């Protein structure tokens, strides 16, 4: 089997970890603890699982934490990600963080990342303090990403109402799926996806619950009478999807009613998904013949990796 490219892999450099702990996020999104991470151990894990390269990104809760500057923290983690890329040639790429909801600072960081850090794309949370990616205030950010033909991983985080919906359980269990779905539906119904054809969006966890609600959303789009009209299934079809998590034996079949196999990509979600679980998920994909072609798909989407 050809070694894989992992589009959904996270990193926790020491400065970022310290910022999370100081801001009260030692158990992010209700998880038991922050996982341990080092670039060296990440590479060792990749070797054991047959992963050629990993695109590093910051996971939830992102860089807008505590009383510190999200601008400074975004710059710090992006610089740390670039250092990992340089220190381990050919093993890592970088999906940079942006200091939203500060639109001007986000555009400035896009410029810095593209001009000085040679990033492969960006990773954006579904919402920041309750402001979702499709909010009209973010329109200049999407325009800049479209101008640069950016690749963007949409990553879930806790919804603003999580205290009432998670019932005290870890939010990644189901709240992440619902927030991904909520954010993507808003991006489509608000016209963001259609208006920015040069942005390639990656949706994690095999599309979350999008396959289950796509036809319902499409029907409501006609009732809402958007101007211009929104073709929900068309816009969903052009998205890309990583297969992090547990897409087999049920979820992947539903996803393939929305998209084609050439829009699928491998994702481990390491280290928030520990190595043993990532290995088990990868084995299931391999047993079902799903891994074939995934690297080619990703190299086509990210020509910087070839």
Q: Tell me whether residue 306 is in a domain.
A: no
> 209 pLDDT exceeds 80?
yes
Residue 191 belongs to a domain: yes
Residue pair 93/85 in contact (Cβ under 8 Å)? The answer is yes
Give the number of other Cβ atoms within 10 Å of residue 122's Cβ: 26
Predicted confidence at residue 28, as pLDDT, reads: 95
Q: Give the phi and the psi of residue 78 in degrees, each rounded to 5.
A: -70, -40
Structure confidence at residue 306 (pLDDT)? 75
Contacts of 199 (CB under 8 A, 6+ apart): 142, 145, 146, 149, 150, 151, 152
Give domain status of residue 291, yes or no: yes
263 part of a folded domain: yes
The verdict on residue 304 lying in a domain is no
Q: Is residue 305 in some structural domain?
A: no
pLDDT tens digits, one per residue of 119-160: 999 999 999 999 999 999 999 999 999 999 999 999 999 999
What's the pLDDT score for residue 229? 87
**Structural domain containing residue 172:** 4-299
pLDDT, residue 227, reads 78
Beta-strand relationship, 264-265 and 4-10:
unpaired
Instruction: Output the pTM of the full model.
Output: 0.96
CATH for 292? 3.20.20.140
Distance between CA 222 and CA 206 in Å, rounded?
Answer: 26
Query: Total domain count for the chain?
Result: 1
Pair of tokens at residue 140: 């200049």
């Amino acid at each position: 089997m050809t070694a894989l490219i992992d589009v959904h892999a996270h990193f926790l450099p020491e400065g970022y970890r310290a910022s999370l702990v100081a801001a009260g996020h030692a158990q992010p999104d209700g998880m038991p603890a922050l996982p341990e991470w080092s670039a060296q151990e990440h590479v060792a894990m990749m070797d054991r699982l047959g992963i050629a390269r990993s695109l590093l990104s910051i996971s939830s809760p992102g860089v807008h934490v505590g009383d510190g500057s999200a601008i400074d923290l975004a710059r710090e983690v992006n610089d740390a990600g670039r250092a990992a890329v340089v220190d381990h040639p050919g093993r890592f790429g970088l999906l940079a963080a942006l200091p939203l909801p500060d639109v001007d600072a986000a555009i400035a960081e896009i410029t810095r990342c593209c001009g000085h850090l040679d990033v492969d794309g960006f990773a954006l949370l579904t919402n920041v303090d309750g402001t979702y990616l499709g909010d009209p205030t973010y329109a200049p950010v999407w325009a800049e990403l479209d101008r640069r033909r950016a690749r963007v991983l949409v990553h879930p985080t806790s919804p603003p109402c999580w205290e009432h919906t998670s019932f005290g359980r870890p939010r990644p269990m189901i709240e992440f799926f619902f927030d991904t779905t909520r954010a993507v539906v808003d991006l489509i119904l608000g016209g963001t996806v259609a208006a920015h054809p040069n942005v390639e969006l990656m949706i994690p966890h095999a599309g979350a619950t999008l396959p289950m609600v796509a036809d319902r959303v499409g029907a409501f789009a006609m009732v809402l009478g958007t101007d211009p009209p929104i073709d929900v299934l068309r816009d969903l079809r052009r998205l890309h999807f990583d297969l992090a998590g547990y897409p087999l034996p049920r979820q992947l079949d539903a996803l393939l009613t929305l998209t084609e196999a050439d829009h699928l990509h491998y994702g481990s979600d390491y280290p928030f998904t520990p190595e043993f679980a990532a290995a088990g998920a990868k084995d299931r994909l391999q047993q079902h013949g799903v891994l074939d072609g995934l690297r080619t798909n990703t190299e086509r989407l990210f020509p910087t990796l070839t």
